[in-house]
Amino acid sequence: MGHKLGIIGYGGMASWHHNSIKANFTDLEVVAAYDISKERLEAAKNNGLIAFETAEEFLSSHLFDIVLVATPNNFHCDYVCRALEAGYNVVCEKPVALNCEELDKMEETAKRCGKLFSVHQNRRWDKDYRIVKQAYEDGLVGKPFTVESRVHGQGGMVHGWREFKVAGGGMVYDWGVHMIDQMLDMIPSKVVSVYANLHCVRTLEVDDYFKLVMRFENGITGQIEVGTFHLVQLPRWYVCGDGGSLVINDWDCNGKIIHTKDTVMNWEPVVVQTKAGPTRTMAPRPADTLEEKPLPDVETSWSSYYRNILDTIDGKAELIVTIPSVRRVLKVIEACFESDRTGTGLKTDI
């Protein structure tokens, strides 16, 4: 049986969902939309959807069995709960909510109504992330001790509702939520401490730069850095283990893994003279003791997210983006704000 989807908030991301579903699915069709903007309702009509002018009419129509909530972040909780109460399965855009209290309400409603409720954490299927995850799981850098994940923009701008606190704006909620989600998805260990520092570099009230350091119980240091004003950009991923180092430079997944050739140390470092003085510890290795390996070849697609949603509704699969997994991310986000507010690292049990 095919499924039908109705969208609340037919903006930029919702249009992406619409086009991607059209291109990738024969058993899922987007049929309707509700938006507060007349212009966006017009766009929905022009794209072949039934456009509703009120949420009540949209929710009582039952022309679809799944609702996607893709409004600004501060409206997620209310619309998700209303859609669940009206009897729909619900997919919500990220971040699922602004805090754990909202999420508790959403989860309780989903359980009571007996409906599927998931969050579009599509970046669990990003190619760069999947490569790092594969390298991690296959031990391609040995036992990792540090994982750095970065997104550096150059524009120095945050657009529209993302500029405002009340709407759930800022980079922690925007890119941060994806990058924290990826790191928690990859590293199977508790987060035992969180330190975060947020800045308003070119914004007035929401963070447009943050650095977050998580310490995992298994010893790994996870660092996430997001900013919008980096005129010199650092690599997307940098992972070091006791058996090698990995770098992914960009979205195109250019990068490499470097190993040492010798398992037994048969190279005696000598003191080298540098402009910063003599050093032996930081002397470069001779090139013939190093071996470059390609990054693992990984096939992935964002449409796997909706495939899993449909298969879960049809009883053929287990839900991948579960509510407990997004609650952990939200707990880290809450700890980030608290760490920034108090100016200290926090002990956590996440």
Which stretches of the chain bind ligand NAD, using CB under 6 A?
Answer: 8-14, 35-37, 40, 70-73, 75, 93-94, 120, 122, 160-161
- Cα separations in angstroms, 10 against 40, 42, 68, 75, 270: 6, 10, 10, 13, 63
Q: How far is the CB of 315 from ligand NAD (least distance, A)?
A: 26
Whether residue 18 contacts residue 46, with contact meaning beta carbons closer than 8 Å, is answered with no
Q: Closer CB to ligand NAD, residue 37 or residue 274?
A: 37
Q: Closer CB to ligand NAD, residue 9 or residue 255?
A: 9
Give the residue among 103, 129, 136, 135 at the shortest CA–CA distance from 117.
103
Q: How far is the CB of 17 from ligand NAD (least distance, A)?
A: 9
Q: Closer CB to ligand NAD, residue 207 or residue 244?
A: 207
Whether residue 91 contacts residue 3, with contact meaning beta carbons closer than 8 Å, is answered with no
Q: How far is the CB of 14 from ligand NAD (least distance, A)?
A: 6
- Cα separations in angstroms, 95 against 51, 132, 166: 25, 23, 14
Omega of the bond leading into 95 within 30 degrees of 0 (cis)? yes
Q: Closer CB to ligand NAD, residue 71 or residue 339?
A: 71
Give the residue among 257, 261, 269 at the shortest CA–CA distance from 289.
261
d(CA 211, CA 208) in angstroms, rounded, equals: 11
Q: How far is the CB of 190 from ligand NAD (least distance, A)?
A: 26
CA angle 342, 344, 348 (to 5 degrees): 100
Q: Which two tokens stand for residue 66?
A: 């799944």
In the complex, residue closest to ligand NAD by CB = 11
Length in residues, the chain: 350
Q: Closer CB to ligand NAD, residue 11 or residue 222?
A: 11
Q: Closer CB to ligand NAD, residue 8 or residue 247?
A: 8
d(CA 23, CA 4) in angstroms, rounded, equals: 15
Q: Closer CB to ligand NAD, residue 143 or residue 159?
A: 159
Q: How far is the CB of 334 from ligand NAD (least distance, A)?
A: 17
Q: How far is the CB of 74 from ligand NAD (least distance, A)?
A: 8
Q: How far is the CB of 102 from ligand NAD (least distance, A)?
A: 13
Q: Which two tokens stand for residue 137?
A: 């799981």
Antiparallel, parallel or unpaired: β 144-152 and 237-241: antiparallel
